[in-house]
Structure 1
């Protein structure tokens, strides 16, 4: 019973966090407030019933909301009926893509979105969102569908129209949320400021002082529907739906896996992809918009002691009652309050700490994050996600093209990388050189394999090398280009009167060597010590002569 009570209380906490934030996200996306609220009902309930993760919270998030706005802005007018219909269709297309990813077991693709890529991509979107919220908090009108630099110009030119009441509401709301979290972290301070300023608006008539409010919200439960649009529009939505799917998959699966490991329960990433698909189709069929996951709400539920999806179901039930009976309570919410709540939620997504750590630890990965940041901010999220994938592949190729290459000692332990070996001329044992190449041999590092082996042999020439053995412990596979490089290296070694062999070869790699004919005329040894013992014995039997 104690656990049930804890889960129900966590559901109330989730509701207090989700309602004001989802209203803000729907505004970012250019959709009515009900779109954000409806996302908490049918889609969230279906997600809770299907997902393997016990804690991951599904919801539209800030990055997805900005991506929805930027991708649909050129196809329809934000706030219009056609725009909302496109948002529904976009969610359904994303759901189908998630189903496909689950069917083909593509959960591993989430690994391609590294931390630097996600940091830069989400940071760029967060800054774009923040600009809209700053304008809202100042009471300055800008066109949210415009490019970042255009909106920045509109904000500066609109500064003479700043509304003092809007500034007061915003600053006080941010102060209350931040200070309240420090003193009483369990209190839903976002809901507190929302209720407080709504009451003041109703009692003091802040709208008469030029303060914008949420306005009329259509009452009623979500209705099952299906977007009716031309096939050309369905096709036009595919790129943005794909980008949304990739971002949600990258962040959601990583968080799901992290909390599963933290709380010691199994997760099935492909089942989670299926749950994402079902939630997004449900969103498109019930008046919501694209569903992703919320890292901040997942963390909040973890801190509240929740270890199940019960809070999502509690939130769905209470939100349903709210949209049926309580929308009148939401109409007088001042827009600056929503701006303040979203600002507090979005600022951590800018990733200042992550950028500083990347600069300190890995300059190349900092550059990757910076490029993703600027691309998503200045060119748009679709271009940003494409650049992110290209950079992921470049980063992967860069790492694979320059693997560690070591000369082993008699115990099979690396003595050092090839460069110092070339300077010192080390060998494994008298007349024997065992070289470990720490990667699969493929087109990106084939030349590196050849250069490393030849360099080690030439550097060790004064030691009268008679045998070259490739340690294959870290070689998982060899492609056609890699096989050509190994064959050319083997030929180069044999032409110098040296023997060429392999050690620590796994059965699957042995089959690859056989398929390419790379084992012909070469001996495959068990271990480094086995190779040294057999080759030394053969040299002794031949009076120290070279092995052909």
Structure 2
């Protein structure tokens, strides 16, 4: 088993500690903003950086993935709990804690039963559309915060937009000025001096300006008092019906975090040459989320942006996460007074700029150029998430993904092979009349499992090959090298094809059958009297020399 802080050596200790300070500067302002997005107090975002972060860092197999509440998780928390309790109430916070605990339990179950593969159904188009919809919803709230316009941040997207538009006549000029300068500094700073923690710089400088110029008296909102002290153990006490009501949103959180977290974790492990264990990472996510729910925070996920920042800073261990935990604890013990005067427009600017890449504009363009159906999947997920809700969005996306999978599986590559085994002519793209492997022989290869979605397509393709040949076909050989499985419906298609071929005086044989597939064919009763050939050339030679089917 990999030891905690694997990869840490005396040579890279200074680099890792420096990266930890950078992570602290990035995480503090963002987590305060994400807590506000979720409808929770700032401490909910800060508490997440202490105990849950330590547990995750000591258990995870990834040496670089940074765990934290992120924008998508915060928006999902707000959208799913907002209909059950009023944002900011004690009941709302209790629901957020319970949701994190349920998500943690689901992570543990996935780790125990090795169910990480389920997240593979969240393809790139689904994630692009889902996260993009959440990001645009968040952006409207942050724009309102930057303008000093009051809207219901827990409402539906259209309600937020209408509230923002109707409230434009109440905007605060000083708030707009603070936000505009903050956005300019963040964008230009990230472009020209990316290693500087500009989010922290913006919050410090804007706070000094607000205090010095008494801008709070001019209508600029500030964060307000943040309770001092470390997180304390708690446990949400809810009726069992409320626990059940939280399960769908917790499942969505778990699946999205699993898909994104494992993908990012695997990519950095491959890039930097260290081991990756998906189930161990799921276990770490599980305990981290349970810890978050048990000490006043909300659902944890993977932070792609912070992980990338740590990689650029040269970090290759989880030590920066431990530095982050210690630094956040010290801030809560001795420095909460420094947070009270942080201007809300600056927080809105920091969060707004951070989520801009999540809108997926570049990814949508790429999908449009590469595959229009997958673009439609992403766009549908985006629109449903935005206008109906996050959970319906992910459900619709799953259905579309399955339709896409069935659509591709129903049209596999089916070819008539020529005698050299390499040249082929497709039977699904209008193969020329007369396509045969050798006089009187057709060797057909299908590059997919044979199952209910493509059984009829396969049999019709073989029939076209037989009836469309220039010379009478007496022998059909099915190249089974790429057929890895057959279901009952596929077996019925084989039986139907065999009967049709028999009625037309054509023999049916199989070639290059994998051992597991052969066992499956025998189990389904499809091998009575059939011959097997080691290669297609052997099949052609045997049939040409003997004029019939080899019994080897």
On whether the aligned pair clears a TM of 0.5, the verdict is yes
Using a 3 Å threshold, how does the CA distance of structure 1 residues 419 and 281 change in structure 2: closer, same or farther?
Answer: closer
Matched, 1:250 2:259: yes
Of 421-430 and 213-222, the range deviating more from structure 2: 421-430
Q: Normalization by structure 1: what TM-score?
A: 0.97
Using a 3 Å threshold, how does the CA distance of structure 1 residues 68 and 250 change in structure 2: closer, same or farther?
Answer: same
The answer for the alignment partner of 2:66 in structure 1 is 57
- Aligned-pair CA distance for 1:414: 4.1
What aligned pairs does 1:128-277 form with structure 2 within 5 A after superposition? 128-277=137-286
The answer for the alignment partner of 1:522 in structure 2 is 530
- Aligned-pair CA distance for 1:409: 1.3
What aligned pairs does 1:63-74 form with structure 2 within 5 A after superposition? 63-74=72-83
Contact 1:422 1:459 in 2 (8 A): no
Give the Cα separation in 2 of the matches to 1:301 and 1:457: 61
Deviations 1:226-256 (A, max 9, x none): 1111111111111111111111111111111
Matched, 1:402 2:411: yes
Contact 1:139 1:163 in 2 (8 A): yes
Match of 2:99 among 76, 90, 107: 90
Match of 1:417 among 407, 410, 426: 426
Give the Cα separation in 2 of the matches to 1:411 and 1:510: 24
- Aligned-pair CA distance for 1:273: 0.7
Contact 2:425 2:435 in 1 (8 A): no
The answer for the alignment partner of 1:470 in structure 2 is 478
Give the Cα separation in 1 of the matches to 2:316 and 2:333: 29
Using a 3 Å threshold, how does the CA distance of structure 1 residues 459 and 73 change in structure 2: closer, same or farther?
Answer: same
Contact 2:451 2:488 in 1 (8 A): yes
Matched, 1:532 2:540: yes
Give the Cα separation in 2 of the matches to 1:485 and 1:166: 69
Using a 3 Å threshold, how does the CA distance of structure 1 residues 546 and 240 change in structure 2: closer, same or farther?
Answer: closer
- Aligned-pair CA distance for 1:421: 5.9
The answer for the alignment partner of 1:319 in structure 2 is 328
Contact 1:498 1:546 in 2 (8 A): no
Give the Cα separation in 2 of the matches to 1:480 and 1:360: 38
Tell me the SS of whatever aligns to 2:12: helix
Give the Cα separation in 1 of the matches to 2:81 and 2:317: 35
What aligned pairs does 1:122-133 form with structure 2 within 5 A after superposition? 122-133=131-142
Contact 1:407 1:421 in 2 (8 A): no
Contact 2:439 2:471 in 1 (8 A): yes
Name the Cα RMSD after superposition: 1.3
Give the Cα separation in 2 of the matches to 1:140 and 1:361: 40
Contact 2:543 2:550 in 1 (8 A): no
- Aligned-pair CA distance for 1:51: 0.6
- Aligned-pair CA distance for 1:217: 0.8
Q: Give the unaligned 5+ runs of structure 2.
A: 1-9
Give the Cα separation in 2 of the matches to 1:26 and 1:248: 17
Contact 1:70 1:381 in 2 (8 A): yes
The answer for the alignment partner of 1:504 in structure 2 is 512
Deviations 1:417-454 (A, max 9, x none): 11456433211122111111111011111111111111
Deviations 1:106-159 (A, max 9, x none): 111121111111000100000000000000000000001111011111100000
Matched, 1:444 2:445: no
The answer for the alignment partner of 1:341 in structure 2 is 350
Equivalenced residue count is: 542
The answer for the alignment partner of 2:6 in structure 1 is none
Give the Cα separation in 2 of the matches to 1:232 and 1:338: 36
Give the Cα separation in 1 of the matches to 2:171 and 2:85: 29
Give the Cα separation in 2 of the matches to 1:414 and 1:155: 63
Using a 3 Å threshold, how does the CA distance of structure 1 residues 419 and 389 change in structure 2: closer, same or farther?
Answer: closer
- Aligned-pair CA distance for 1:179: 0.9
The answer for the alignment partner of 1:459 in structure 2 is 468
Give the Cα separation in 2 of the matches to 1:339 and 1:330: 15
Deviations 1:353-375 (A, max 9, x none): 11111111111000000000001
Tell me the SS of whatever aligns to 1:424: coil
Give the Cα separation in 2 of the matches to 1:356 and 1:184: 28
Tell me the SS of whatever aligns to 1:220: coil
Give the Cα separation in 2 of the matches to 1:214 and 1:245: 30
The answer for the alignment partner of 2:129 in structure 1 is 120
Deviations 1:380-426 (A, max 9, x none): 00111111211111111111111111111112124221145643321
Give the Cα separation in 2 of the matches to 1:513 and 1:183: 63
Give the Cα separation in 1 of the matches to 2:153 and 2:472: 73
Give the Cα separation in 1 of the matches to 2:21 and 2:499: 72
Deviations 1:238-284 (A, max 9, x none): 11111111111111111111111111222111111111100000000
Give the Cα separation in 2 of the matches to 1:421 and 1:61: 50
Contact 1:252 1:292 in 2 (8 A): yes
Of 416-425 and 201-210, the range deviating more from structure 2: 416-425
The answer for the alignment partner of 1:99 in structure 2 is 108
Q: Give the unaligned 5+ runs of structure 1.
A: none
Match of 2:389 among 380, 383, 407: 380
